[in-house]
Amino acid sequence: MADFPQIHAAWQRRRALVREQRLDAWRLVHGAADGMEGLSVDDYRGRYLITVEAEAWLEDRAGLEAALAEVQEELRPAFAPKFYWVANLPKQRGALPGEEIDRFEVVEDASRFEVHLGEGPHTGLFLDQRENRREVCKLAKGRRCLNLFCHTGAFTVAALQGGASEAVSVDLSKNYLAWLERNLELNELEDRPHRSVASDAAAYLERAARGGEVFDLVILDPPTFGRGKGSTFSTIRDYGRLLAACLQILSPSGRILACLNTRKVAAEEFRDFLKEAAKTARRKVLRRPAPPPDFPETAGAPGALKAYWIA
Ligand SMILES: C[S@@+](CC[C@H](N)C(=O)[O-])C[C@H]1O[C@@H](n2cnc3c(N)ncnc32)[C@H](O)[C@@H]1O
pLDDT (tens digit per residue) in 227-282: 444 444 555 778 999 999 999 999 999 999 999 988 888 889 999 999 999 999 99
Ligand 1 atom having least distance to the Cα of 173 = 25
Query: In the beta sheet, which residues pair with residue 170?
Result: 148, 197
pLDDT of residue 264: 81
Q: Are strands 215-220 and 144-148 parallel, antiparallel or unpaired?
A: parallel
Q: Whose CA is nearest to atom 10 of ligand 1?
A: 223
Contact status, residue 231 vs residue 245, Cβ threshold 8 Å: no
- Ligand 1 mean position to 173 CA, how many Å? 8
Q: Which residue blocks in the chain are alpha helix, DSSP H?
A: 5-20, 61-75, 130-139, 154-161, 174-186, 201-210, 236-248, 267-280
pLDDT of residue 2: 55
Q: Is 282 exposed, middle or buried (0-12, 13-18, 19+ CB in 10 A)?
A: exposed
Q: How far apart are CA 293 and CA 131, in angstroms?
A: 10
What does the mean pLDDT of the chain come to?
A: 93
Query: In the beta sheet, which residues pair with residue 148?
Result: 170, 220
Give the per-residue SS3 of 253-279.
EEEEEEEEECCCCCHHHHHHHHHHHHH
Indicate the range of 16-30, 50-64, 132-146, 223-237 predicted with least confidence.
223-237
The secondary structure element, H or E, covering residue 112 is strand 111-117
Distances, alpha carbon 75 to alpha carbons 24, 64, 65, 86, 295, in Å: 10, 17, 15, 23, 19
Q: How far apart are CA 163 and CA 143, in angstroms?
A: 8
Indicate where the chain has its CATH 3.30.750.80 domain(s): 5-102
Indicate where the chain has its CATH 3.40.50.150 domain(s): 127-310
Pocket residues for ligand 1 (CB within 6 Å)? Answer: 126, 129, 149, 151-152, 154-155, 170-173, 176, 200-201, 221, 223, 226-228, 231
Q: Classify domain 127-310 by CATH architecture.
A: 3-Layer(aba) Sandwich (3.40)
- Ligand 1 mean position to 256 CA, how many Å? 16
pLDDT of residue 238: 83
Ligand 1 atom having least distance to the Cα of 124 = 9
Distances, alpha carbon 299 to alpha carbons 5, 14, 34, 303, in Å: 22, 20, 13, 10
pLDDT of residue 225: 54
pLDDT of residue 226: 43
Contact status, residue 14 vs residue 42, Cβ threshold 8 Å: no
Q: How far apart are CA 257 and CA 269, in angstroms?
A: 17
Indicate the range of 48-57, 79-88, 149-158, 296-305 predicted with least confidence.
296-305
pLDDT of residue 228: 47
**91 vs 178, more confident:** 178
Q: Classify domain 5-102 by CATH architecture.
A: 2-Layer Sandwich (3.30)
Q: Are strands 166-171 and 144-148 parallel, antiparallel or unpaired?
A: parallel
